[in-house]
Amino acid sequence: MTSYGNLKIRNKLIIGFATVVCMALAIGIFGYFQIHTLERADHVLFNKGVKPVEHIGDIAADFQRLRVNIREYILASDKKIHDHYRVRVIKFREEIDASVVKLEEKLPDAESKKLYARLIQTRSNYTPHVNRILELAKPNRFEEAVKYMRSDAVYLAEHDEIEAIENLQSYLVSNAEIISEKNIETAMNSSVVMLCLAFGASLLATIMTILITRSIANPLRTVLGAIRSQQEGSREKALIVEAIAGGNLNQEVMVTEPLQMDMDEVNNDEAGMLLKAIVEMSEVQNAFDLTFAKMSFSLRRNRDQESQRTWFRFGQNELNFILRGDKSTAEMTHQVLTFLTEYLGAGVGVFYVFDEKESMLEIAASYALSQEKRLNNRLALGEGLAGQAALEKKIITMNDAPANYLQINSGLGESEPSHIVAIPLLHNNTLIGLIELGSFSEFGEDHLEFLKQIMEALAIGLSVNKSRQQVNELLEQTQSQTEELRVQQEELQQTNEELEERAQMLEQQREQIRAKNREVEEASRELQRKADELERVSAYKSEFLANMSHELRTPLNSLMILSSLLRDNRDGNLSEKQVEFAATINGAGRDLLHLINDILDLSKIESGHLEFHYEDLALSELHDQMESVFQPIAQDKDIRFTIQLDQATPAVMTTDRQRTQQILKNLLSNACKFTHSGTVSLHIYSPVSSENPLGTSSVAFAVTDTGIGIAEDKQSLIFNAFQQADGSTSRTYGGTGLGLSISRQLARSMGGEITLRSETGSGSTFTLYLPVHGDCSLSSHVERPALPAIAAPNASMQRLAEPAPVSFKSPDPLPAPIPDDRELLQSGDKCILVIEDDLTFAGILSDMVRGRAFSVLVAADGESGIALAERYQPSAIILDVMLPHIDGWGVMRSLKDNSHTRHIPVHFITCLEERQKAMSMGAIGFVTKPVSSEQLDAVFGTLESAIEKTMKMLLIVEDDQKQAAAMVALLEERNVTIKVAESGDKAIELLSTEHFDCIVLDLGLADMGAFELLEELKKLDPERRIPVIIHTGRELTHEDERKLHHYAESIIIKGAKSPERLLNEVTLFLHLIETSLDPGKQRMIRSALDKEAMLDGKKVLIVDDDMRNIFSLSSALSEKNITIYEAENGREALKQLDNFPDIDLVLMDIMMPEMDGYEAMRCIRKDLRFETLPIIALTAKAMKGDREECLKAGASDYIPKPVDMDKLFSLLRVWLYSTTADRAEIG
C-alpha cells in the first residue's frame, strides 16, 4: 500500500493536473533564466571582450599619431608650426597615458594584466626618449634631435612599445573570440534542455494518466470479485440452518471462510474503503458461522452427555439395589456379576474375593464360564491378567486376546472373546475383590468410566457383606469368652493391688532423683559462672598484654637506640667504663625485649590468635640451619654437638617453618645451657607406631643432652608458664620458664606433641613429634571460641582498628610537635617525613636524618602526617602504626590512594609484627621496635637507595610472548627498564646479575613450578624482599592463595580483564609518580582505586527462580547504589532487556523453569544490542566443565553458588569498568 493509493479519487486527479501544470511552469521558469543567462553572457562579451579590444585599438592609433607628430615636430622649420606640433605631441602623449590607465580597469584576466604590465614598462622606457626629443627639437639643435631620434635606443624603445601594444591587442581579440564561442555553446545547450523538458513533461503527463486510471479501475474490479465470492454457498447454508432449527442436530454447519487480504496493502481511497468494509463483513459472517457451528456442537454434546449420565445412573441404581439386604457372599456376587455382564454386553465373567490371610484371589461367582477353564479356583497376586490387576490395583484391559485364552459356550456352539477387562475392587486402597469380564466387542470409554465409578461402591458392599458375616461369627465367640473374662477379672484385681504398692515406692524414688537433679543444675550454673569469669579474666589478660606490649616497647625502643649510640661512642667522649655501662644497658634491653616477645607468643597461643603458615620444609635444609646456629655455641662451651638425619625419614614435610625452627632452637638452647660437658645431639627420624603419640605419619626430632637432668617430680612442672625445675631464689640458671611452655603449645597447635625422658644427673631427651603433612585446612591460624565483647580499657587498644583512608589537606601551617625544618625548606630540597607519636624516638630519628644531609619533617599523628606529605612532597617517609586518631595503616592507604603521594617511598618502624601487610601495601621496608643503631643505618640506607635511584628495573616472567609483549606495552615508561624472562631459569639468571625493583610473575611456566621458583627467588637475596606480583590465568584454590601470599604482595587473575589493576600495582611498588604518566594510564589507575564509584548508579538484572536468592543479592547490591531489575526465568529476562536496554550487567542463574540460563544467554547474544553486554553466570552445581559450558553459551564470567560477595563485587567492578571503557572509546 502506497501513500498515493490512499488518496481520494478527486485528490488523485488534482495531483495529476497539478503535476502537468508544475512541469509547464518549470519549463517557463527555466526558459526565463536561460534568456537572462544569455543576456549576462552578452554583457560579459561586450565589457570583457569588445570594449578592451576597442580601447587597445585607440591606444595603438594614438601611438601611431604620436610618432608621426614627433617627426613633424622635428622637421618643422617654421616656429609657429613647430610649436603647433609640440602641443600635439604633448597632447597625444597625455591621451595615451590616460588611455593606458583606463585600460587596466577593463582587463578580463591575469594574463592580460601581465601583458598590460609589460606595456606600462615599455611606456616608462619610451616616455623619457619623447621628453628628450622635445627638449632637443629646438631651432638651433635640429641635427642633434634628428640624430637622437634615429638612435638605436629610441628605435628599441619605440619597437618594444609597439610590440607590447600588439601583443595585448592580439590577446584581447583572442579572449573576445573565446567568450563569443562560449556564449554560442550556452545558447545551444539551453535549446537542448528546453527540448528535453518538453519531452519529459509530455511523458510524465502520459504516465500520470495511466497511473490515475489504473488506481481507480483496479480496486473496483477487486471489490466486485469479493462481493461475488461472498454470494456463493448462501442458499445451501440457509437450508442447513433451517434443519438445525427444526431439531436435526446431526447437520454440520457450513463455515464461510473470511476473505484473506493483507489490509496493509489495501488503499485508503473510496474503492479501498469499500473493499475493507466487505472484508469486515466476511469476517463477521465467518464469526457468525463459527458461533452457530459451536452452538450446534454444544447441543449435540449436551444431548450425548445427558444420555451417558442417564445410563450411568441407571446402572448404579441397579447395583445399589442388589447390594442391599442381608445376603450371602455367593448370592450377592452372583447377582452383581450377572447384572454387569448383561448391562455391559459381556459374554463371560468371573467374580473373585480376596483372602487377606493367604493373599490369594478366590472365585466367588462366574457367568458363562466353561468348567474346563476352571483349572484352579484360586489366583495369586500377579498371576495372570486378573492377578496383575489386583497387584497393581488398577483396571487392566486387553484387546485382541490370544487364542484359547477364554471361551464362551452355548448349546449351539462356542467362541472366544477378543476383549478382556479386569477391575480390582478397592476400599481405602485396600484390595477387597476383583471382577474379570470378557466380550466380543471392545469395551468403550463409557464402559470403562462406569466400571471406575462403581469400583469403590462394589468394594464397600462386598466389604460390608464380609464384615456382617464376621460379626455373626464373632458374636458367637464373644458369648463363649465372656465367662472366661469373668474369671480373669478376679485375678487382675488382685494383681492391681500389688502394682499400687510398687507405684508408691517408685514415686518416693522419683522425688529423690528430682532433688539430686536440682543440686546438679545448681552446680552446673556455678560452673558456668566460673567459666564466664575465666573468659573475662582471659580477655582482660590479653588486652593487658597488648597494651603493655606497646607501652613497654615504646620506651624500650628509645632506651636501646640511645644505649646503642652510647656504646658505639662515635664522638669518643666516653670512658671504657661508660661504654661498658651502655653495653650492659643495651643487653638488658634486649633481654627484656625477648621476655616481652615470649609473653606475647604465649598470650597469642592461649587466645588462639597465633597464625601458622604451612609450607614445604626440606629436612636437609633444617639440618644445615641447626648445625650452623648451634655448632659455634657448642664450641664456645667446649661440648660436642651432633645432628643425625635418618635415611628413611621423608625428605620434605609440610609445616610452619618459623614455628618449627623456634621450637627446635628453644630445645637445643636449653640443652646447651644445662650441659657443661659431654654431648648435645639432635636425631631426626620417623618414629614407629608404638612410639608415635600422634597416630599419623610423623617426623620425630629428639634433642638429647648429658646435662644435669630433671627430677621425675619436676618433669610435669617445667611445661607450665614461668616454671623451672629449680624454682628457688638461689637457683643456678636464669630464664623466665616460658620457653618449654611456648614450645609445647606451638607443637600442639600444629598437631604435634613434645615428650620428655630424663633422670637427675644423667641428662634429658626432649622429643618433638610433628605430622609429615601439616593440617593446612585449618585456615591460616588456630581459632578458639570467641570471648565476650569487652570495652577497651584505654585508647591504646582502639588504635589497633583500621579506619578507612582519610583525605586530609589543610591550607594552614601545621605546628611541629618538635623542632623540624619545615620553615627552612626550599624548592628542590630533599627531606624525610617522620610520622611517630613517641617524640623522644622522633627526635632521635630527626637527628639521624639531618646527619645524612636531609631536611626533616615531623608529625605526631596520622592527620598531620597526611597533610605534610601532600604539602611538602617529601623524598621518603618513616611511619609508625600505633598513631592517635588515624593509625599507620590508614595513613598508608591514604598516601597510596592519592595520585600526588603514592610514589613516595614509605618505611615502617613499629611495635607490631605485620611485615607482610605493610609490604603488600607498597612499603619498601619494615622494622619491628625496638630497633638498634645498625637497623636504623640499614633503614636509612634503604631510603637513600630508593631516593637516589631514578631508573627503575622491572622483571616480567612470562612464557607467552604475546602476553609478555602486551604487558611491556602497558607498563613501559621512560624511567622504567623492563626485562622479560621466558622461563624460570632465565628469571633466576637475570636476578643473580641485575638489581630489580619489582617482579611480575606468571605461575604457568613450563620448566619450573611456581612455588619452586618463588623459593629460589627468596634464597637469592633473603635480606631484601623484592615485591612480587602474581599475574596468572589459573584459577587458584584458597590454599594456593594462602601460600602465595607468603611470597607475593599481590595476586591478579588474567581472566578478570583487569590490566588497570596490574598497572596500579606496578606503579605502586616501583614508586612511580602517577602524574608523570600519560592520561590514559592515569585514568586506569584511578579506576582501579575508585572501587565504589565504579558501581554507583549502575543497572543490574538479576535472573533467578528462587526469590530468596534475588532478595539477598538485591539487598547486597542496593547498598552500593546499584539499580536492581528482577526476572524469575530466562523468558522474563528477555522481556526486561527489551523494556530496559540500558541495563549494564546481567546476573544469570542456570537452572530455571520455562527457559534455563544457557538458552537465555544464547538468545541475548543473538541480539546485536547486547552482543557485548556483560553476563555473569550463577550456578549451584559447581561441577567440572560448568565454567566452559557457561562461557560457550555466552557468559562473560562465572561464579558458583553460594556466592562469595567479595568476589562478586570484584567481578562487577571489572566488567562494569570494561564496559564503561569500551563505551568511552566508541564515543
Cα distances from 978 to residues 971, 1044, 1074, 1076, 1078, in angstroms, run 8, 23, 18, 18, 18
Q: Tell me what pLDDT residue 979 has.
A: 87
> Checking phi first, is residue 253 left (phi over 0); if not, alpha (psi -120 to 50) or beta?
beta
Distance, CA of 811 to CA of 814 (rounded, Å):
9
Name residue, grid cell 602524574. 1075
State whether 156 and 281 are in the same domain: no
The DSSP 8-state label assigned to residue 1223 in this structure reads H
Residue 1178: domain span: 1091-1226
State whether 85 and 187 are in the same domain: yes
Cβ 417 vs Cβ 348: under 8 Å: yes
H/E run at residue 1025: none
Distance, CA of 221 to CA of 274 (rounded, Å):
12
Q: 443, 465, 500 — which closes off a domain?
A: 443
For 555-581, give the DSSP string: HHHHHHHHHHHHHHTTT--S-HHHHHH
State whether 759 and 641 are in the same domain: yes
Q: Tell me what pLDDT residue 792 has.
A: 33
What is the CATH classification number for the domain harbouring 143? 1.20.1440.210
Cβ 907 vs Cβ 834: under 8 Å: no
Distance, CA of 548 to CA of 1220 (rounded, Å):
51
State whether 32 and 118 are in the same domain: yes
Sheet hosting strand 831-835, strand order edge to edge? 855-859, 831-835, 876-879, 906-910, 925-928
Cβ 644 vs Cβ 683: under 8 Å: yes
Name residue, grid cell 590479653. 542
Is residue 432 included in any domain, yes or no?
A: yes
Amino acid type, 618? A
Distance, CA of 1058 to CA of 1029 (rounded, Å):
14
Q: Tell me what pLDDT residue 834 has.
A: 95
State whether 652 and 686 are in the same domain: yes
Encode burial over 528-566: b for 16+ CB neighbours within 10 A, e otherwise: eeeeeeeeeeebeebbebbbebbebbbebbbbbbbbbbb
- HSE (side-chain half, CA atoms, 13 Å) at 216: 11
State whether 894 and 996 are in the same domain: no
Q: 947, 972, 996 — which closes off a domain?
A: 947
Could you report the per-residue pLDDT of 405-438, keeping only the tens digit for each? 666 766 655 767 778 899 999 988 889 899 999 8
With 0-12 / 13-18 / 19 or more C-beta atoms within 10 angstroms meaning exposed / middle / buried, residue 449 is exposed
What is the CATH classification number for the domain harbouring 368? 3.30.450.40
State whether 1085 and 1097 are in the same domain: no
What is the CATH classification number for the domain harbouring 1030? 3.40.50.2300
> H-type helices in 232-269, by residue range?
234-245
**Bridge partner list, 419:** 399, 439
Is residue 335 included in any domain, yes or no?
A: yes
Is residue 981 included in any domain, yes or no?
A: yes
Is residue 394 included in any domain, yes or no?
A: yes
Total-model pTM:
0.36
Q: Tell me what pLDDT residue 548 has.
A: 62
Distance, CA of 240 to CA of 251 (rounded, Å):
7
Grid cell digits, residue 1068:
605502586
Cβ 483 vs Cβ 430: under 8 Å: no
Could you report the per-residue pLDDT of 816-843, keeping only the tens digit for each? 899 999 888 887 788 999 999 888 889 9
Grid cell digits, residue 105:
580597469
State whether 369 and 381 are in the same domain: yes
Q: Which of helix, strand or coil describes residue 415?
A: strand
Cα of 539 vs its chain's centroid, Å: 42
Is residue 531 included in any domain, yes or no?
A: no
> Checking phi first, is residue 1030 left (phi over 0); if not, alpha (psi -120 to 50) or beta?
beta
Is residue 348 included in any domain, yes or no?
A: yes
Cβ 984 vs Cβ 1012: under 8 Å: yes
CB atoms closer than 10 angstroms to residue 1036: 15
State whether 130 and 264 are in the same domain: no
State whether 1111 and 1052 are in the same domain: no
Cα of 755 vs its chain's centroid, Å: 53
Q: Tell me what pLDDT residue 83 has.
A: 76
Domains: count for the chain: 7
CB atoms closer than 10 angstroms to residue 182: 13
Grid cell digits, residue 741:
611452655
Q: Tell me what pLDDT residue 716 has.
A: 66
Name residue, grid cell 445427558. 306
Q: 443, 465, 498 — which closes off a domain?
A: 443
Grid cell digits, residue 204:
510524465
Is residue 1003 included in any domain, yes or no?
A: yes
Distance, CA of 126 to CA of 116 (rounded, Å):
15
- How, if at all, do strands 698-705 and 763-771 pair? antiparallel
Cβ 835 vs Cβ 883: under 8 Å: yes
> Checking phi first, is residue 304 left (phi over 0); if not, alpha (psi -120 to 50) or beta?
alpha
Helices (H) then strands (E): counts for the chain: 33, 30
- HSE (side-chain half, CA atoms, 13 Å) at 584: 6
State whether 1066 and 1152 are in the same domain: no
Candidates 1054, 1005, 1009, 1047; CA nearest to 1027 is: 1047
Q: Tell me what pLDDT residue 487 has.
A: 73
H/E run at residue 291: helix 270-323
State whether 155 and 280 are in the same domain: no
With 0-12 / 13-18 / 19 or more C-beta atoms within 10 angstroms meaning exposed / middle / buried, residue 703 is buried
Q: Which residues of the chain have pLDDT under 50?
A: 725-734, 777-813, 1055-1057, 1182, 1221, 1224-1227
Candidates 971, 951, 976, 967; CA nearest to 1002 is: 967
Is residue 1014 included in any domain, yes or no?
A: yes
